Structure 1
Amino acid sequence: MKGANRIRSFALLLASSIRIGSTRAAGDSYLNVYGESLQPCSRSGMALTGYVRDGHCVDRDGDSGSHHVCIDLSSVSSLGDGRNFCQVTGQSEWCSSDDMPCHDDPSSYGCSIENWCVCQWAFASYIDKAGGCDAIHDVMCESINVRTIEAYGKDRAKYGDALACIVERCGLESSAYYSSLLAAGFGGGGVRSGGALVGLGVASALVASAAVVAAFLVVRKRRIEVEVDRVWKGDDMTDEISVGKTN
């Protein structure tokens, strides 16, 4: 009976370690341009942004616009002509909307657009039409999805200026992570924004599970050694040492 209880306890501990690893992975499944967990673009008091309206510039199938670049639409460059992102790129004037669902409570309206996940292709056009990198809104580097620089890097003939702008604004020249992407030809180098950390989380869970198994076997081995010692010393008046005796 004791053996069955120990096995059940072991199974619960094993399942718990796997569940914890999976939960952590799901919460950190996207990367920013620094190779770190993607941070929220919209913040408290702002309109809620993101393709799936979760505040992050996530990478999702179906998002043909690839809304991966987080920019501060409330910022104004002293070198620009005063026009915002919408005006420069020829879009409708949604940039000045002030009655949007709020980041803190999506069911509550009345928040203004400030930090926003914009289309990475429109962002490239924006830089060119605004007059260069120095004439654009502020970019929120920790909230820019790494998919952006991967996409730009794969077609530098067309998006080289946009890539150079993010590299400059985010200080990626000295980034080891960016260097690894560059060396890998922007193929991701095995690090993908939508799946790498999930794999890492599963690996962590497996390592944790292996540690639990190892600890269980060590305890089990020790108990067998104790039983053998007891029989050898005559403390246990039986001739058999079975797995059942150690439980």
Structure 2
Amino acid sequence: MPTDTDADADRTDGDDAPDRNVFGEPLQPCCTDPATGALRDGFCRSLDGDPGRHEVCAVVTEEFLEFSRRRGNDLITPREHLDFPGLSDGDRWCLCVPRWIEAHEAGVAPPVELAATNEAVLDEIDRETLEAYAVEDTGGDGDGSSADEGEAESDGRDGA
């Protein structure tokens, strides 16, 4: 479903090529409520000015959020001064590539929305691995919701 933000996906950081997803198609929004991405525009863009590489659109799980907090990145606690509401199970968020890889290696990687995950991640994570974590229904509208998020989280994957 086209959104007002589809045209925004054509913006990049320093080059003329639009951001693409792991399928080579125009990057779809990950989440606008709460607004995610390095630019807080809802997209998991590949930006020269983003050393954290917030390029993986994930549907966070309680298990992942606790893992991240134990690693020193508390995504649960709201931070008003940063206009960050805090995340909870089922929220979509642009995760840093290294954190998703670390979570994958620990067996707690959250499901991934492939249409909203930047193709730049393919230099670190192979597409086959991403597909193993794909959200089953990509019917989310970029507002942080999807029809089958719970199904993707409880399908018995062990993270291997």
Fold in common (TM above 0.5) = yes
Q: Which runs of 5+ in 1 are unaligned?
A: 1-23, 77-82, 153-158, 172-247
Distance, in Å, in 1 between the alignment partners of 2:31 and 2:8 is 20
1:79-228 maps to which residues of 2 (within 5 A)?
83-85=63-65, 87-88=67-68, 90-92=70-72, 94-98=74-78, 111-113=85-87, 114-129=91-106, 131=107, 135-149=108-122, 151-152=123-124, 163-170=127-134
**Retained in 1: the 8 A contact 2:44–2:118?**
yes
1:92 offset after TM fit, Å?
3.0
**Retained in 2: the 8 A contact 1:89–1:126?**
no
Compare CA radii of gyration and give the structure with the larger one: 1
Over the matched positions of the two proteins, sequence identity in percent amounts to 24
- Structure 2 residue 21 is the aligned partner of structure 1 residue 32: yes
TM-score by length of 2: 0.60
1:26 offset after TM fit, Å?
6.6
TM-score by length of 1: 0.41
- Structure 2 residue 63 is the aligned partner of structure 1 residue 71: no
Aligned length: 120
- CA RMSD, Structure 1 to Structure 2 (Å): 3.1
1:96 offset after TM fit, Å?
1.1
Distance, in Å, in 2 between the alignment partners of 1:64 and 1:54 is 17
Considering fraction of residues, name the structure with more helix. Answer: 1
**Retained in 2: the 8 A contact 1:69–1:148?**
yes
